[in-house]
Amino acid sequence: MPRLPSSYRAPWWLTNGHAQTVLARSLRRIRRRPYQRRRLELDDGDFLDLDELDDGQGRVAIVLHGLESSSDAPYVRGMARALSENGWDIVAMNFRGCSGEPNRRLRSYHSGVTDDLQAVVADVRARRRDQPLLLIGFSLGGNVVLRYLGERGESVRAQGVMAGVGISVPCHLETCAERFAQPGNRFYMKRFLRFLFEKVRHRQEAFPDALDYDAVLASENFHDFDGRFTAPVHGFASAEDYWTRCSAKAVAESIAVPTLLLNAEDDPFLSPPCHLREEADRNEHLHAEITPHGGHVGYVQFGKDGFYQEARVLAFLRDRA
Residue 44 bears catalytic tag? no
Query: Rounded to an integer, what is the distance from CA 67 to the centroid of its chain?
Result: 8
Q: d(Cα 82, Cα 75) in Å, to the nearest integer?
A: 11
| Catalytic, out of 70, 108, 139, 247 | 139
Residue 267 bears catalytic tag? yes
| Catalytic, out of 110, 172, 293, 296 | 296
| Catalytic, out of 49, 168, 267, 275 | 267
Quickly list H helices, 113-230: 114-127, 140-152, 173-180, 186-206, 213-217, 222-225
Q: What is the dihedral of CA 264, 265, 269, 270, to 10 degrees?
A: 100
- C-alpha distances out from residue 56 to 59, 80, 88, 114, 128, Å: 8, 15, 9, 27, 10
CA dihedral sign of residues 128, 103, 145, 113: negative
Give φ, ψ of 136 to 5 degrees: -135, 130
- Contact, 118 vs 149, CB < 8 A? no
Residue 89 bears catalytic tag? no
HSE-CB at 14 with a 13 A cutoff on CA atoms is 19
3-state secondary structure of 73: coil
Q: Which residues make Cβ contacts (< 8 Å) with residue 273, sequence separation at least 6? A: 171, 172, 175, 249
Give φ, ψ of 47 to 5 degrees: -150, 160
Give φ, ψ of 52 to 5 degrees: -125, 145
Residues assigned a catalytic role: 139, 267, 296
